[in-house]
Structure 1
Amino acid sequence: MLKDFLEGKPLRHPLHPMLVHFPIGLFILSFLLDLASLAFPSIPSLVRDAFYAMLLGIVTALIAAVPGLVDYTDIRGDHPAKRTATAHLTLNLVVVALYGINLGVRSSMLENPRISLAPLILSLVGVALLSVSGYLGGRLVYDEGISVGRHKRRTQTPENTLYLSVANLVQKETADAIFVPVAEAERLPEKETLRVEIDGQVIAIAKLEGNFYAFQEFCTHRFGPLSEGSFEEFSVRCPWHNSCFDVRTGKVTQGPAKVDLKTFKVEVRDGKICVALPRVSPLS
């Protein structure tokens, strides 16, 4: 499939991080050629070479943007990395637009021995923004774990997230927790997961050996989606960096994660999976 190719799955490596090196290198090369034209005006065609390096940079940036956009759409809206990815995407669009303007400005200067001030400043700003965008891209991979290890995914990604709220549920005054009906118990096969968001709290529910277990969706290491992980007895393995947790207690059973998962009590009531959440006292 085209989407699998753009994600780099046939290569077993994300495609976007492989391609971004080309526009980054070409944009920086263009800036260095601009500086060289100021230092060595006797060398012919430095300004022209900078122009074509910039042109190739824009072309390769647009090519790299296609798998990058596919990766972006794969990040869930409630994932902590979504905001960083949006900033990364926005900066990249600004950079490409800036270099497009730069090309237009310098298109009539190709025979000049030295680059003019205006396109030089545009290039300087472009390289600065490119550096910030590159830093954010690095954060997405190394801090947030985006695209890391996704080719090791062993279970099918949950197609839909159930969005629920406790606002309309009747709570008993003496109850310490409220059980939220999530889905029909028959809906969830053995060793598969259901992903729910209850008032902004994202929870994964798994069925193991006939019992249901609920735990926080995102791994405590790099926010990997545990609903896409694999199961061994009562242990869930994060699909990104192989951290393992006991779904009954939330305890870390294998690193690199060091912080335990938050777990939730589950009961089956009237054939429905019900997850216990702390009762919220009404505001006075």
Structure 2
Amino acid sequence: MKSKAHIKTHPLHPILVAFPIAFFIGAFIFDFLSLATTNLSFWQTGYYLSIAGITGALLAAVPGAVDYFFTVPPNSSAKKRATKHALINLLNVFLFGFAVYYRGTEAASTYVILTIEGIGVILLSIAGWLGGTLVHRNQIGIDHRYAQAGKWKESYFEQSSGKIEVATIDELKVNGLKLLHVAGKRIALGRTEKGYVAFDDHCTHKGGSLADGVLMCNTIHCPWHGSHFDVETGKVKAGPAKQPIATYQVAEQDGKVFLLL
């Protein structure tokens, strides 16, 4: 899904995370060199790299938090993965922060600091693995489009029931999609050759966003694992999903599209 924290559709979080990763690993390497060579300049470099890593990690966490709360689909495997990713990174920042504090104490031991930083680097690798999976498997931050789909569309509505105006007749091209937030509920609005349809944005397999999928031949294709659903009946046309998705009534009137709840 398209990132909410981006510059010209390029997500900010992946841009920023490269810096703390390099700084934290660099701090561990230079502290190890300090122990191996007894060179004080390596020790000082490790200290400053740790400070830079903590600062960079906190900066990268800002767009990461924006995407966590507003981009990652709720109640999905990606949300669980993103939670682990965030918690591990926070723990890593705490470890390096403690190592920086510990350096200034009289009882400071290079071996202890290297152990703490080594654990931090391992955690950093695990968090990086999870982050990569979020991008490459769950497609978080990816604004992928297909022929005639148009740009990503998303709207919010406070009304939770009744007849809700959600689009104009010509807002979407055939096979186009739009994500609706209706009183906190995520509903995908699509346009087929027959007209407008509406269905749950939540794939029943792992919770992927169907509004971020591909709509063709009256079928929505989940972008995560390829499940296919009939957009009129909600029935599964191809797995791995086994449960159907909910569908909603849509009415077209006076050049406008209404969702009936």
TM-score normalized with structure 1 length:
0.64
Aligned residue in 2 for 1:128: 122
Contact 1:154–1:228 (8 Å) recurs in 2 = no
In structure 1, C-alpha distance between the alignment counterparts of 2:137 and 2:159, rounded to whole Å: 27
Distance 1:159 1:150 in 2: 22
Q: Secondary structure at the match of 2:260?
A: strand
Distance of 2:240 and 2:158 partners within structure 1: 27
User: Could you tell me which residue of structure 1 aligns to residue 64 of structure 2?
Assistant: 68
| Match in the other structure for 2:132 | 138
Residue matched to 2:209? 225
User: Does residue 7 of structure 1 match 2:1?
Assistant: no
Alpha-carbon spacing, 1:33–1:186, altered in 2? closer, same or farther (3 Å): closer
Q: Is this contact kept in 1: 2:27–2:45, CA < 8 A?
A: yes
Contact 2:3 2:67 in 1 (8 A): no
Matches within 5 A, 1:234-253: 234=218, 247-248=231-232, 251=237
Aligned length: 241
1:113-147 CA distance string (max 9 Å, x none)? xx622222221221122122112212211222111
Structure 1 unaligned spans of 5+: 164-181, 275-284
Say if 2:75 is the partner of 1:78: yes
TM-superposed deviation, 1:79: 3.3
Larger Rg, first or second structure (1 or 2): 1
User: 1:14 Cα deviation (Å)?
Assistant: 1.4
TM superposition shift of 1:72: 1.3
Counterpart-to-counterpart distance in 2, 1:149 and 1:50: 38
Give the % identical residues: 33
Q: Distance in 2 between matches of 1:203 and 1:211?
A: 16
Q: Is the 8 A contact 1:157 1:228 kept in 2?
A: no
Q: How many Å apart are 1:76 and its aligned residue?
A: 3.5
* Matching residue's letter, 1:19: L
Cα contact 2:3–2:143 (8 A) shared by 1: no
Q: What do residues 202-232 of structure 1 show as CA deviations (whole Å, max 9, x unaligned)? A: 6535454675534452468986523356767
RMSD: 4.3
Matched-pair contact (CA < 8 Å) for 2:249–2:260: yes
Q: Deviations over 1:154-213 (max 9, x none)?
A: 2421325987xxxxxxxxxxxxxxxxxx6427655434657589xxx9653545467553
Q: 2:163 aligned with 1:184, yes or no?
A: yes
- Quote the offset at 1:266 in angstroms: 5.5
